[in-house]
Amino acid sequence: MSSSLSLPRSSDVSSPAATLPVICLAGPTAAGKSASTLALAERWPMEIINVDSATIYRGMDIGTAKPSREEQARVPQHLLDILDPAQSYSAAEFRADALRLIDDIRARGRIPLLAGGTMMYYKALRDGLDDLPQADPALRAELEARAAVEGWPALHAELAGLDPVTAARLAPNDSQRIQRALEICRLTGQPMSALLQRASRKPDDDANRYLTISLEPSERSALHARIEQRFDAMLANGLLDEVRTLRQRPDLHPGLPSVRCVGYRQMWSHLDGEVDLPTAREQGIAATRQLAKRQITWLRAQPDRVIVDCLAPDVVAQTIDVVAMALAPVGKS
């Protein structure tokens, strides 16, 4: 275990739970966050706030590695199964929900434990949000209608003329982000890149209250092997049938954030007849590895994190030790 964060010693902590750090347990997919999360929440009076853009959806259990009903019954958990897959959920909505839950949990004399791998949510919570206009449903519908006729590459080319900086970092078929960038250009008359550059930020009033524990692999290939094993386990447990059930709904389609989740979009593509199952499996594993790479890159850019090797045999014990240093005065529930 290595650390760039100075943790409080037990003699330094004499305050009630409301002033203790909010524990954040982050890490790439397949790092084993669930085991450490449950161990922490059962040792101290904690409630879990899930930081995951996929487990928010009902009916998406296998491919999201959602905590089982038994696990959910063992400790209080929040932000699970809060949306139908046809709905969307923004980082701004997560931030508002998480801040409210942190206050509610502390008011009950308990400790918030944020756990998950959606790094955009952590960033929104701690750093605040860019001051950008809200979505315009009518304008979005217009852009979608145009894309249905012209194709998203054509709209990407249009964006390149309005906001070349943003267009340069987007793929020609990245429908969600192209739509958002064009929407902002139309609503503000300015390119999104310019607004982001000078946008006012709204960070948490006390960003130092977060203790971030990062479960990171000491060997990338070992994490890749875990990812492959976990994906195969999901397939064996019925991932394809889960996606087939979702696909039978007329209101769901590949453009939705829920269907774009890793694993789901590859199985959906197979069911659409675009690829065979072995190819979909390989694509799903590759996409999961890419997701893990992005997560690790984001984590390594965070200076104030305590690193625990997720491949260590005593990873849970190490994680408990880190938290014990910060929460020593708080007894077991």
Name the least confident of 8-17, 127-136, 212-221: 8-17
Residue 103: what pLDDT? 92
Which of 194, 129, 124 has the alpha carbon at shortest distance from 166? 194
Answer whether residue 209 shows pLDDT above 60. yes
Phi, psi of 203, rounded to the nearest 5 degrees: -70, 165
The two structure tokens encoding residue 197:
């550059």
Q: What does the pLDDT read at residue 106?
A: 92
CA–CA distance, 298 with 120 (Å, rounded to integer): 9
State mean pLDDT over 17-24.
81
140 with 179: CB under 8 angstroms?
A: yes
Give the pLDDT score at 161: 95
In the numeric block, which tokens belong to residue 105?
A: 């949990």
- Name the pLDDT band for 5 (thresholds 50, 70, 90): very low
257 vs 158, higher pLDDT: 158
User: What's the confidence (pLDDT) of residue 8?
Assistant: 37
| Span 45-84, pLDDT tens digits | 999 999 999 999 999 999 999 999 999 999 999 999 999 9
Average pLDDT along the chain = 88
pLDDT tens, 80-106? Answer: 999 999 987 878 789 889 999 999 999
Q: Please check whether residue 206 is in contact with residue 184, taking contact to mean a CB–CB distance below 8 angstroms.
A: no
